[in-house]
Every structure is written in structure tokens, then in C-alpha cells.
Structure 1
Amino acid sequence: MNKNNETIIYLFSGLGADQSVFDNLSLLKTRNHQFIKWEEPKIKGLENYALQLSSQIDNTKKVILIGVSFGGMLVSELSKHIQTEKIILISSASNPAELPFLYRLFGKLKLYFLIPTFILNKPNKLLSFAFGISHKKYNKEEKQLYQIIKNSNPKFAKSFIKMILAWEKKEENNANKNSIFKIHGTNDLIIPFCKNKNTNQFLIKNGGHFMILTHSKEINNLIKEILVSS
């Protein structure tokens, strides 16, 4: 398919979260972009859900995908099926092997009911700690997280957690290695950093799982560098 020269950046947020996680991204002011909207899953499975959401993407234009956390996993799966210029994963995993062993074990044993999803349904200090914003200097970001939680659909969050735990590696991305970029924090407790020789990786010192808001200056600089690279 011949594509015109217009490029659209599609943004996938985290676990049922709204687009406010991207509020600090400078590209929103300068680049053509579109936020992917969550939909009720029609078929089980992370890859199937990624394909379902692909209906929101205009394949007649050049496509760049950016995903945070769960959104990054969707981006990774989607890149197997559509042509992309670049994909950027923030605080995420490009394949299930990068997830913590406990997640994969729960998925293999189908122990979904042991995941305390209630923690994700209301603000609490345990969640703040897990996201790396329990320190008082992150009071603003903690309030933002709590607002995102209040705006999130708990039904979606539960479904998405099951997708993550049941995620299976089937094939590699169609995207060229040089077009896959991972930005990860050294202090991410939810999805700890995992080396992957098939991606271009950037580490942000002291960045936690919510670094898209707490370390937005560093992330903006990296994204700008990635977008202008050939």
C-alpha cells in the first residue's frame, strides 16, 4: 500500500487509564496525534485486542505507535500486523518473557483470581509505592494517579490484567530492530527493566512506573531524539 507523507502518532495509555497520562508530552503540541480509545474486548487475548483496536488506525498514512505499560504491550503485538515507522514502549514489555516470573507463573497456572484487582480500583498508598510516587516530592503526580484511577473503568482493568497474565509469545515483531525503542526506569517495580537485544533501549535513572509524568523532561528529550532519527 502506498502511503502519503503524513505521519500520525497513535498513543496507547496504560491499564484502562485515560489519555491524561500523556499530559506532559511536548509532542502533543507539535505533532499530528490521536489517542486510542478503550473498547469492550470482543475476543479474548492481548493480540486479538490489539487487532480490535487497530480499526482506529489509518493505514493510508505513516504510523508511529507509542504505548505506556499495558499500552506498550498492545503496540508490540500490533506491530506484527501493520506497517509502522517507529514504535516506542514506555515502562512496558515488548514480549511476555520480559514480564516478572510471578506474572508468568500466575498466567500459566491461570491464577487470575489471586491478583488483587481491588488495589487498582481506588487510591491507596500501596499503589503509590508500586508506581514510584510515594515520596512527598511527588504529591502532584500522586494526585494525578488517583484521578486517573477514579476515571478508569475497573471492568477494563480486570480484563486487561488477565490478558497480560495470559500473554504468549508467538512471533517476532515485523518492525525492524532499528525502529523499536524502549524507555524504561531503573526503579520500575511493576515491570522491572529487562534487557532485550532486539530493541533500542534507554534507561531513566530513578524512574518508576509512573515516570511518564514524574520524569517527563527526560522522556520528552528521548522521544524527540527518537522521532528525528532515521
Structure 2
Amino acid sequence: MIELFFGNIANPKEGHNVNINKKVRKYMVKNVKVIFFVLLMFLSFPGASQAPMETAKEKTIYFFSGMGADSSVFKNLKLPGYHKVYISWIPALPNESITEYAGRIKSQITTPNPYLIGLSFGGIVAVEVSKQIEVEKMVLISSVRKKEDLNKVQFFFMRLGLYRIIPGILLRRTNFLTNSYFGARSQKDKKELKKLLQNTDISFFRWALKSIAHWDNTESPERTIQIHGTADRVIASRLVHPDYRIKGGGHLMVFNKADTISRIIRHYFHE
């Protein structure tokens, strides 16, 4: 076949003005045969003509923000290489438990075996969601694994329902007490806290406090790490047993300790 294809070179016809040395012709034909042989061998391998394999899909992280807050609370976290989905809070039903609420909000999770990150109250909801679906790994930031980690005095006042008599306008305001309570020391942190409180859905806030007061989870979730600040006053550091303690971290450490928290999460997810 090679000789026929290159016949005008290997066997030039009469009248053609082709002056090619015989040794050169033999050399060209020999090399062309080698090239065709190599191509034939390559094409004979299984899958040689198939399209390249697809790259592995990104893992999906679902974020549960604090009580009624939006996704902006996570803006300082650096977690490249992941598909990020921010859970949107939905209105709670009257007398709905956290477990029942988790059963409805989990419909936003469409990826099998996802990663979950829960902040504060969002961590509690994430714990309940993890009991209803298969979760690859979960991270709780400034949150708790079970009800025993919460302050019993806070539980008592929440069960009394005193939060119901506090005017909504006061719950949305910031002052030196709220700044201290949430650990907002810098002007930037105070600005973020003010924004969070101003955007708080008061009816959701009151439902959340009521539901926490009746939360009955006693088991620690599997494949979960807890990151907590030593200066957290909303969820007292002395009552929880986190895997990582962030020195000087308050309840808003997701803003001002984001680099440290990001490193911990990246390491855990890569294990």
C-alpha cells in the first residue's frame, strides 16, 4: 500500500523529470512504513480514539448561616476548589421543631454526600439535617453539637419566653452591650454586627429561640469538627468541647479569624 501511494516517487514513470537517488527513495519508503506502523499500533489500543476522561467534579459545600443571617457572613472564608451553595432561610411554621424545620429546608440540598458548614444557630440546624441525609463531613463554627453544650441559664430564660416581650426595634439595635456580647471590637466588626441585626427577621428570631429551648439532641454527629472561640460569650467556650479553639475568638470570629478557620476547614476536607 505504501509503495502504491508513493508510486510516483518509488517507481517514477517514463517521461517524468524526477531525479531522485535510489538510496533516497528507499530511505523515504522505509520511514513512511515505520510511521504508518506506529500509527496503526497506537490506534489499536483500547480507548485511544476516545475523548479524554472528564476531570473529577467539584465537591459541594452547603453553608448554614447564623440566625436569619444571609451568606455574607461567610465572605471572608477562603475555600477554593469547591462548589458553594448558601442555604436560604425559609419561614418557620407555628410550633415547628428544629427537626421538623430541618426536614423542610434540606430540600435545598441536591448533591449526594455533601459537605456542610454551620454557623451558630445554622450549626444546630445543620446537625439536624445531618441526621436525615448522608453527609460526607461537617464543620460547626461558633455552634454546638448537642443541647448539653448550651448554657443552662440561657435555656431557662428561653423556656420562660422572655424574648417575646422585647420590642423588635431593640433587638435590631447595637450598643456597647451587644458589641461586647458578640465580640465586636473593631469598627469593621461593629459595622458587620449592625448590618446583621438590622436585617434580622424578628419573627424568625423568636421562633429560633423557642425551638432552641426545646431542642433535645443528645448525640454528637459523626464526621464532624467543631471550631470555637475562647472569648465566645453567646455560646460559652467553657461549656463546649471543640476540636479547635481559636484564641481570642468571639461569636463573630468567622469575620475576623477567617484565615485561621479557613486553614482548619481546608485541612479537614482534604483528609
Identify the TM-score tier after normalising by the shorter chain: 0.7 to 0.9
How far did residue 219 of structure 1 move?
0.7
Mark the runs of 5 or more structure 2 residues left unpaired by the alignment.
Answer: 1-55
Task: Between 82-91 and 43-52, report the one with greater CA deviation.
Answer: 43-52
Distance 2:99 2:155 in 1: 16
Q: How does 1:164-175 map to 2 (within 5 A)?
A: 164-169=212-217, 172=219, 175=221
How far did residue 18 of structure 1 move?
1.1
Distance 1:180 1:162 in 2: 25
Q: How does 1:130-149 map to 2 (within 5 A)?
A: 130-133=181-184, 135=185, 138-149=186-197
Q: Secondary structure at the match of 2:114?
A: strand
Query: Do residues 41 (structure 1) and 101 (structure 2) align?
Result: no
How far did residue 123 of structure 1 move?
2.3
Give the match for residue 23 of structure 1: 75
Distance 1:17 1:117 in 2: 19
In 1, are the aligned partners of 2:182 and 2:233 still within 8 Å (CA)? yes
Give the match for residue 124 of structure 1: 175
Return closer, same or farther for 1:6/1:214 CA change in 2, 3 Å cut-off.
closer
Give the match for residue 249 of structure 2: 207
Rg (Cα) greater in structure: 2
Q: Which one scores higher on RCO, CA 8 angstroms, separation ≥ 6?
A: 1
Distance 1:210 1:195 in 2: 17
Give the match for residue 86 of structure 1: 137
Q: Secondary structure at the match of 2:62?
A: strand
Note the alpha carbon deviations across 1:146-169, whole angstroms, 9 max, x for none: 112222212211111111112112
Give the match for residue 59 of structure 2: 7
Distance 1:88 1:76 in 2: 10
How far did residue 125 of structure 1 move?
2.1
Return closer, same or farther for 1:114/1:41 CA change in 2, 3 Å cut-off.
closer
Query: Do residues 55 (structure 1) and 107 (structure 2) align?
Result: yes
Distance 2:194 2:163 in 1: 23
In 2, are the aligned partners of 1:68 and 1:89 still within 8 Å (CA)? yes
* Identical-residue share of aligned pairs (%): 33
Note the alpha carbon deviations across 1:79-136, whole angstroms, 9 max, x for none: 11110000100000111110001122235xx301256474532222211111111x3x
The two structures have a TM-score, normalised by structure 1, of 0.85
Query: Do residues 180 (structure 1) and 224 (structure 2) align?
Result: yes
Distance 1:165 1:125 in 2: 26
Q: Secondary structure at the match of 1:77?
A: helix
How far did residue 72 of structure 1 move?
0.4
In 1, are the aligned partners of 2:183 and 2:231 still within 8 Å (CA)? yes
In 1, are the aligned partners of 2:145 and 2:219 still within 8 Å (CA)? no
Give the match for residue 29 of structure 2: none
Query: Do residues 72 (structure 1) and 118 (structure 2) align?
Result: no
Count residues in correspondence: 212
Find 2:162's aligned residue among 97, 107, 113. Answer: 113
Distance 1:52 1:228 in 2: 30
Mark the runs of 5 or more structure 1 residues left unpaired by the alignment.
Answer: none
Find 2:267's aligned residue among 217, 220, 225. Answer: 225
RMSD of Structure 2 on Structure 1 (CA): 2.0
In 1, are the aligned partners of 2:67 and 2:205 still within 8 Å (CA)? yes
Distance 2:90 2:149 in 1: 26
